Amino acid sequence: MDPENSQDGASRPAIYRVKKYWWFIAAAVLLVLLIVVAHFRANAKANALRAGANAPLAVTVAHVTTADVPITIDALGTVTPLATVTVHPQVSGPIIKINFTEGQMLKAGALLAEIDARPFKAAVDQAKGQLDRDTALLANARIDLARYKTLLAENSVSEQQYATQQATVDQDDGTVAADVANLEAAQLNLDYCRITSPVAGLVGLRQVDVGNLVQANATEIVVVTQIQPMSVLFTVPEDSLGSILERLRSGQKMAVDAFDRSVTNKLASGVLSNADNEIDPTTGTLKLRAMFDNAKLELFPSQFVNVQLLLDTVHNAIVVPGSGLQQGASGSYVYVANADNTVSMRAVTTGPGTADQVSILKGLQPGETVVVDGADQLRDGAHITIPQAGAAGAAAAQRPHRTGGSGSQGSSSGGGQHYQRQQGSSTGTANSP
220 and 231 housed in the same domain? no
Tell which residue, 364, 261, 366, 272, has the closest CA to residue 305: 261
pLDDT digits (tens, 9 = 90+) for 75-95: 999 999 999 999 999 999 999
Find the mean pLDDT for residues 373-397: 67
Mark whether 219 and 283 lie in a shared domain.
no
Q: Name which of 68-72, 148-152, 275-279, 390-394 the model is least confident about.
A: 390-394
351 shares its domain with 304: yes
pLDDT at 67: 86
395 pLDDT band, cuts 50/70/90, is: very low
326/177 same-domain check: no
User: Considering the domain boundaries, does residue 269 fall inside one?
Assistant: yes
Residue 382 has pLDDT above 90, yes or no: no
Domain that holds residue 249: 57-82+227-433
Number of domains in the chain: 2
The verdict on 202 and 290 lying in the same domain is no
**Residues 147, 119 within the same domain:** yes
Nearest residue to 271 via CA among 296, 300, 294? 294
Q: Which amino acid is at 369?
A: T
Three-state SS for 306-323 is: EEEEEEEEEEEEEEEEHH
Gap between the Cα atoms of 346 and 327, Å rounded: 11
* pTM of this prediction exceeds 0.95: no
Helices 118-153 & 159-192, crossing angle to 10 degrees?
160
Q: Is 48 part of any domain? A: no
pLDDT in tens, 115-151: 999 999 999 999 999 999 999 999 999 999 999 888 8
For residue 142, the domain's CATH number is: 1.10.287.470
Tell whether 361 and 305 lie within a shared domain: yes
Q: Are residues 206 and 281 in the same domain?
A: no
Closest listed residue to residue 215, CA positions, set 32, 89, 330, 306? 89
Range from 222-226, 270-274, 312-316 carrying the lowest mean pLDDT: 312-316
Q: Are residues 219 and 231 in the same domain?
A: no
Share of the chain above pLDDT 90, in %: 45
198 and 309 in one domain? no
What average pLDDT does the structure give for the chain? 82
Please state the separation of Cα 184 from the chain's center in Å: 51
124 with 205, same domain: the answer is: yes
State whether 145 and 241 are in the same domain: no
230: nearest Cα among 83, 73, 405, 406 = 83
Instruction: Provide the sign of the torsion angle of the four alpha carbons 254, 257, 258, 262, taken in this order.
Output: negative
Give the CATH number for residue 231: 2.40.30.170
Terminal C-alpha separation, the chain: 93
In a domain, 20, yes or no: no
